[in-house]
Amino acid sequence: MSRSLFNRTFCTFPWNPRTHIFQCNKRIQELLKFGQLDHARKVFDSMPQRDSVTWNSMISGYSKSNRIKDAEVLFNVCQDKNVTTWTAMLSGYAKNGRIWEAIRLFEAMPERNIVSYNAMISGYWGIGDFVNARRLFDVMSEKNVSTWNSMITGYCRCGRVYEAHALFDEMPERNSVSWVVMISGYVEIGQFEEAWALFLEIHRWREVKLDQAVIVVALSTATGLDDVELVKSLMALVMKIGYDKDVVVGTATLNGLTRNGSLDSAIKFFEGMQERNDYAYTTMITAFSECGRLEDAIALYRQVPDVTVDIRTAMMSSYAQNGMLNEARILFDEIRNPNVVTWNAMLTGYAQNGMVEEAKNLFARMPVRNIVSWGAMISGLVQSGQNREALEVLVQLHRSGTSPSCSSFTSALLACSNCGDYEVGRQIHSLVFKLGYQYNTYIGNGLISMYAKSKNMEVSSLAFSSMSERDIVSWNSLIIGFSENDMLDCALKTFLKMPKHNTVSWNSMLAAYVQAGEGEFACQLFLDMLGQDVKPSELTFPYLLSVSGSLCAVKLGKQIHALIFKLGWASHLFVGNGLINMYFKFGSKDGFLAFESMEERDLVTWNTVLTGCGQNGFVEDAIQIFQKMEGEGFVPDQVSFLGLLCACGRAGLVAEGLAYFSSMIQYYLIAPTIYHYTALVDLLGRAGRLSEAESIIEKMPLEPDAVILEVLLAACRIHNNIKLGQKIAGRLLQIGGKVSTACTSSCVG
């Protein structure tokens, strides 16, 4: 549009009613095309006469720009309404989620056309009301390709992709949009094989032209399949049909190469791009960062000829991803008018690095929030263990009038599971259903886990059964739920019904059988896993090592250790802890070798060694390990001291044991449990200091259980103290049936 046309506000054409109206309508439409609503309104107000086109143009312009009240005012005073006028107003209501106004208007329309039906269908889909959308679709006497596309788009957005596909197969006519929507629907739920099969149909039957949108969604599919060779094959096709210079296709290709780990190919492709847009630069900066090549990301950032907000935001996210929050914040502060994406990047950076207070402060200062902002804040709070606050933020989001996203609901359901507030979880489930998200796979998985945590496997199973689309996480969540609720048979039946297993599935079943004491079956399950060419993960081996230790199967344990070494998991923290535990259960000092070979240690590592020393009477080693633990900055806990006390008891080091017990209370401010008192009584009893042991039981602030009395009784037998033995036996008979399986019984031997 020329500057002179933009600056002109009033009509100045020679007077002729029809010509005048025609020229003014033309100007109004041009102004609306460039978003100049207020200028268009001035032209509208200056017109002495208007026709239906004039009214319809302005009402439609206001509706498309979300200025519904302005559209309503014109609609109400318009005396020359036709079907286009009604449809323009209807579309405005539907687009802005004002479904009840749209319904009332639709029912009042004196005449309807395909466009009005399509607008109403889109309105229903906007609020997730698939029932009324389908009802309206079914009663339409005439449908066009846009009608069908609206329906399959709605089904895909609600996660009901198989229903969308059934409708897609019935379409009498399809266009490029139909195929792109259908393929994208499968991509969104991670069903990349089905998405690729659809693309092959296009390519094979040539039903529609391979345009930019089709190629881009095909590249997204290949990216999801994690097949870099497929991406490269598409690159050849792109060149063949003449899209190799298209910057959008080029950027999608670049994204496919980077996401599939072919960074060198991506660099070469990027360097050969004749035109680069912001997304091309952000893709490469992000790829460098995710591959740990932050210096390369910085170097590329400095080479960008025109650093836009989007590119600066990508660099800021890269800094945050690598824990360099100060550098990220400097970039953020340099942006004069950061957009909501930039604010979200900084917010996510704080949340992902555990800086929740900083995230809260930033969130409070945000001038504009979108659904991503709320989701990042809720997720950050859940990750930091502030589950109640996360649920409060969800309530604020709902009260703001904005519908929570699927990720917000998923995080909120996890918060309910973490804090045990299952009543709030049920309320969230109701809201999910009301908003039409109940068919979303991620939310469905969250519901399965949440109800399983609440020990309501009936509802958890119902949530699973009601899902229109299930992924492998859905099956695994149900298996874990059955396992954690001691429903081993149901877990096995579910496992056998699974269309496909992954490592998590096998690990879940291994864990279930190990916890149920079915060690031999767990071993057989592991052999079946290997027989199906499923590679074990670092979480597989702790279960197997636990079984080997419990069964005292030394040969099996060493075979598993050899496999661990072969697969490169020997230095992993969880695996190392499992090896230590297994060897000490064998009574072998190889546990110390496993400990020394670990590159990383946590408190569990140190406690596992101390417990092993206690079980086997390696008292000198226990003392050395404890001193080394303190020297490396680890603070001992109740388990640490229990291992020490047991070791001292086995070796008869009474003075040392009493000193450690006193240190635990006075220096570390750790309150002794019944297990610690039992270990102390065992220590004194073994040394023949029976009166002191009895005094410990009488003075301790806890009620004695059967185990501690049995420990003292055994000491009385050893030292032939019949009188005290009879007294303790009497007390033991009084609490008969309360025999504990406390781990401290291993100190008695």
Give the whole-angstrom CA distance, residue 679 versus residue 682.
5
Entry field: residues in the chain: 749
**Using DSSP, how many helices (H) and how many strands (E) does the chain show?**
45, 0
Torsion over CA of 681, 687, 691 and 692, rounded to 10 degrees?
-60
Give the whole-angstrom CA distance, residue 670 versus residue 681.
18
Residue with tokens 């003392």: 623
- Residue 377 makes CB contacts below 8 A (sequence gap 6+) with 347, 351, 359, 360, 363, 393
Beta strand spans in 184-334 (E) = none
Cβ–Cβ < 8 Å for 494, 466 = no
Give the whole-angstrom CA distance, residue 687 versus residue 493.
54
Give the whole-angstrom CA distance, residue 192 versus residue 398.
33
For 393, 412, 693, the CA distances from 345, given in Å and listed in that order, are 19, 21, 62
Would you state the pLDDT for residue 640?
94
Low-confidence ranges of the chain (pLDDT < 70): 1-16, 737-749
Given CA atoms 50, 52, 53, 59 in this order, what sign does their dihedral have?
A: positive
Tokens describing residue 500: 């496909």
Residue 351 identity: A
Would you state the pLDDT for residue 14?
53
Would you state the pLDDT for residue 694?
94
Tokens describing residue 579: 């090896």
Task: Tell me the backbone φ, ψ of residue 634, rounded to 5 degrees.
Answer: -85, 135
Tokens describing residue 209: 């032209």
**Among residues 156, 107, 158, which one has the least CA distance to residue 129?**
158
Give the whole-angstrom CA distance, residue 222 versus residue 229.
9
How crowded is residue 12: how many other Cβ atoms within 10 Å of its Cβ?
A: 7
Q: How far is CA 361 from the centre of its chain?
A: 24
- pTM for the full predicted model: 0.69
Is residue 181 classed as helix, strand or coil in its secondary structure?
A: helix
Please give the full DSSP string across 433-460, using - where no structure is assigned.
Answer: HHTT-TT-HHHHHHHHHHHHHTT-HHHH
Cβ–Cβ < 8 Å for 530, 564 = no
